Structure 1
Amino acid sequence: MAMSHSFIPLVFFILLLIQAIAGIDLNWYDAHATFYGGPSGAGTMQGACGYGDLYKQGYGLANTALSTALFNNGATCGACFQLFCVNDPQWCIKGAKPITVTATNFCPPNSAQPGACNPPLKHFDLSYKMFTSIAYEKGGIIPVKYRRVSCVKQGGVRFEINGNPNFLFVLVFNVANAGDVSRVSVKGSKTGWIPMKRNFGQKWNTGVNLVGQALSFQVTTSDGKTLEFYSVSPNNWQFGQTYQSQGNF
């Protein structure tokens, strides 16, 4: 039996809708990649997203720094990308599977000379391990195809609390699906929702003193999804500690 012409567009529309809901983009885009740091990965720790020790935070060496065109002033921190090496048989590892990396740092432009991370170029400065998973070390700079993919995380969203009574400084990490956070609000057990400001990367702050109150967080990711995580930390929470929500995106 022949398939009706009206059925084909409907199936196509449903597939597009499913992809949109899941935050999946099946299109591949052109960029280039290099690497920084050595085999141990020590050189890729810390960085402009504020994650600090990437092993401790669960990101490990599957990380990348982004050029200005992709970094979006830190708003893309936490997003996940899939990449593979293309059109360079001399340096691409034949048969290598695409890699998936999380944005954890910024690759700064160099106005004094042309550079891979200068605007408007889209560029990934990968950890050594990730780069050598798809290309030979001597390749230096390689052409790649990339796309945004959903982040797969274990456990809840995590909130590392630092600062002092008059400056609450919170790192939001281990965010699933979209991965990158666009808005955060905090609520004490005696307050309403208080919007937080992006300090840098995925570190957010407020000047409201919430010591002695259980803390809840409202988090919005870049795909527009908002979740509220109640009583993430008890009223005797401490600076320097990390607390985990019961759910994730």
Structure 2
Amino acid sequence: MSVDRGANQLSALLSSLYYKLAFACDVRSSSTPAYDDIGLPATYLGLATMARTPAIVAVLVMAAAAAAQLASAGLTPQYWQDPTPSVPSTGFPTYGWENAHATFYGSDSGLGGDFGGACGYSGSDIASLYSTRTAAMSTPLFADGAGCGRCYEIRCVQSKWCVPGSPSVVITGTNLCPPNYYQDRDNGGWCNPPRRHFDMAPPSFYKLAARVAGIVPIQFRRVPCQRRGGVQFCLMGNPYWLLLHVNNVGGGGDVAEMAVREKGGQWIQMTQNWGITYQAFAALDKSVGLEVRITGGTDRKTIIVGDAIPAWWGPGLCYQGSNNFW
């Protein structure tokens, strides 16, 4: 229900209340049929009539009736917010199906560094964590790297090339499908803004549609990321510049904020470098382990990975903590 529609309903109900109140103030003594004419429930009418209620009490009774009508119409504080998407008790929003298109790219194996470049995922990340269930996202979905790691359920629709039964696949967004402004967005420039488009790893695309299709209309929706094990951190940088690439994030799959500290030390806020890689300009002691605090981008939950990185860490190494967003 839209806010405009809600406002119209409220206006109508208040107008109705106004006339009912005006009527009540004019009537000092009335029979039940007269109250019936103004549309009050029998319960309220009975109270007013049987007790020979004065007009002012009748006004209060009518106000209570109108409030009940407002509540029954759903015009509550939550109604006015009209949140989209809705958030169930699990903390992960419920997303509806949206329309888009999908193609495929890269080697038929669906593995390798080509499938993770703009988000920072390496070929080994793809092979060990995400397999062939990945896709490059158009600019609105990539969202300057905020979309890296998010999970989507995708199904082919309205095409003769769709696999019978329209099965769906769940993929992780791991790369950017760059715009091609030399092509019209409806004819070749499928990743041009504001289009939402998925360039999928071939094995995932083939589960939806025949290869010969090339491009098909799809529907997609966000879903929780089901991961095995804890969040993984891969280190880069130098002694004065810590660069952490984040893998295997569960729940929303995305990261909004990160902070790091030496065990027992003070938190150092990190900033996004690119994709799902965060940095801190600090000289941290390698002889002690590091803890990482992560806030998810979707549900804004925060976890602390206390065993994120053990002592004597260094660039080029990857470590996996024991907890995740479940």
The C-alpha deviation readout for 1:181-209, integer Å capped at 9, x for no partner, is 11110011363110111111111111101
> RCO greater where, 1 or 2, for CA within 8 Å and sep 6 or more?
1
SS of residue in 1 equivalent to 2:265: coil
Match of 1:92 in 2: 162
Which of 273, 292, 296 in structure 2 is aligned with 1:217? 292
How high is the TM-score relative to the length of structure 2?
Answer: 0.69
Higher relative strand content = 1
Report the equivalent of 1:75.
146
Shift of 1:38: 2.5
Deviation >2 Å, runs of 4+: 16-20, 42-46, 54-57
Structure 1 length normalisation: TM-score? Answer: 0.89
The higher radius of gyration belongs to: 2
Q: Is the 8 A contact 2:111 2:126 kept in 1?
A: no
* Kept after mapping to 2: 8 A contact 1:229/1:246: yes
CA distance in 1, matches of 2:249, 2:287: 26
Gaps of 5+ in 1: 1-5, 10-15
Q: Give the structure with the higher percent helix.
A: 2
CA RMSD of superposed structures (Å): 2.4
Contact 1:159 1:171 in 2 (8 A): yes
User: Identity across aligned pairs (percent)?
Assistant: 38
Q: Which amino acid aligns with 2:91?
A: I
Does the 8 Å CA contact 1:23/1:177 hold for their aligned counterparts?
no
Q: Pairwise mapping of residues 1-249 of structure 1 onto structure 2 (< 5 A)?
A: 17-18=87-88, 21-25=91-95, 27-42=96-111, 44-53=114-123, 54-88=125-159, 90-114=160-184, 115-189=189-263, 191-210=265-284, 211-222=286-297, 223-249=299-325
What's the offset of the Cα at 1:17? 4.8
Which deviates more from structure 2 when the two are superposed, residues 169-178 or residues 235-244? 235-244
Cα shift at 1:62? 0.2
Q: In the alignment, is the contact (CA less than 8 A) between 2:305 and 2:321 conserved in 1?
A: yes
Measure the CA separation in 2 of the matches of 1:17 and 1:61: 30
Deviations, residues 48-100 of structure 1 (Å, cap 9, x unaligned): 00011234441111000000111100111000000000011x21111242000
Measure the CA separation in 2 of the matches of 1:243 and 1:78. 18
Structure 2 gap segments, 5+ residues each: 1-70, 75-85
Does structure 2 conserve the Cα–Cα contact (< 8 Å) formed by 1:84 and 1:97?
Answer: yes
Q: Secondary structure at the match of 1:58?
A: helix
* Conserved? CA contact 1:24–1:150, under 8 Å: no
Displacement after TM superposition at 1:112 (Å) = 1.6
